[in-house]
Amino acid sequence: MSQLGAFVRDVPDVARGSAKRRAPPIRLAPVPPDTYLSGILAAHRARAAADRRDLDDLVARALACPGTRPFARSLATPAGGELAVIAEVKRRSPSKGPLDPGLDPAALALDYEAGGAACVSVLTDEEFFSGSAADLAAARSACDLPVLRKDFTVSAADVCDARLMGADAVLLIVAALSDEDLFGFLSLARELTLAALVEVHDEAELERALDADAELVGVNQRDLTTFSVDQGRALRLVGAIPPEVVAVAESGIRDRSDAATLADAGYQAVLVGESLICAPDRRAALAALTGHRVGDRAGVHEAGARER
């Protein structure tokens, strides 16, 4: 850890498992004003600041939950194996509006499982994505796949809530977190046996994720300040992701060709939402994303390291 070593001793009590946990102050990374991300994070920050629940109690309850399903292991496809798909339950998008407001998360999860998905992602943000904890619970109960809570994690309580609502993995967006919180939330997730998908958008965020010892990194091709999609972002960053880190490409994956290109570059998984939700035949659309051979990222990483 090149940047975190200096403050490991100062990691919040919640990550060290102290006798009395204290909820750390929320230190979100600065976000440009008047963007999608700034509005979403402001709302989540306000809710977190008003949360008066006891963190010790939340952790104890989370630790008492039934065991988690193997989210990261389900995606850790070796070179030569087949691309894994994380299929998303998503009712609406802040940029595109309603996608399928009346979807049945249980039925959709069953379709995803039948179509060959490795994992399911469920939006639980209510205000901006019309999701809920009930959507996650329904999807997970209907299938045997590991489930990611897709939301904006800004506090230790959010990590606990993911476990309490039945998730097997939690999303940590590097752009929304300080280094200290990123490290602390990763540590708490591991304590609670949650996988953590650490989401990045550029080289600097990827470096921060790797410094925090992220084992599962998602490269989001959607710009969270404008919500526009850059189809080449994942390909530009793949060379900087070490072979031992599970690599996931997110957003902008439209069809078989996109999936094949990302798999060939060395991504072990793709996270796909809108193109599946809007497809007339969701099982067929999902099947088209599977079966692609995963390329060897080791050589790509070595070449990228030499260039840097």
Token couple for 138? 């329904």
Work out the pLDDT band at 11, boundaries 50, 70, 90.
Answer: very low
Count other Cβ atoms within 10 Å, centred on residue 20: 8
Who's near 151: CB < 8 A, 6+ residues apart? Answer: 123, 124, 125, 131, 158, 162, 171
Helix 179-191 / helix 203-211 crossing angle, nearest 10 deg: 50
Position 30 pLDDT exceeds 80: no
Write down the pLDDT at residue 9: 28
Summary mean pLDDT of the chain: 88
Q: Where are the alpha helices (DSSP H) in the chain?
A: 13-16, 36-50, 55-63, 71-75, 105-115, 133-142, 156-164, 179-191, 203-211, 233-237, 256-265, 274-277, 282-289, 297-307
| pLDDT at residue 53 tops 90 | yes
Residue 175 Cα distances to 31, 115, 179, angstroms: 8, 33, 10
pLDDT of 99 above 50: yes
CA terminus-to-terminus distance, the chain? 18
Q: Which residues pair with 122 in a beta bridge?
A: 89, 149
For residue range 223-266, what is the model confidence (pLDDT) as tens digits? Answer: 777 778 888 999 999 999 999 999 999 999 999 999 999 999 99
What residues are annotated to the active site?
88, 90, 150, 199, 220, 250-251
Please report, for the chain, the start and end positions of each structural domain, with discontinuous segments joined by +: 81-307
Residue 65's identity, in one-letter code, is C
pLDDT at 2: 33
Residue (of 193, 215, 186, 199) closest to 14 by Cα position: 186
The β-bridge partners of 198 are: 172, 217
Q: Would you identify the CATH topology of the domain 81-307?
A: TIM Barrel (3.20.20)
Mean pLDDT to the nearest integer, 17-39: 52
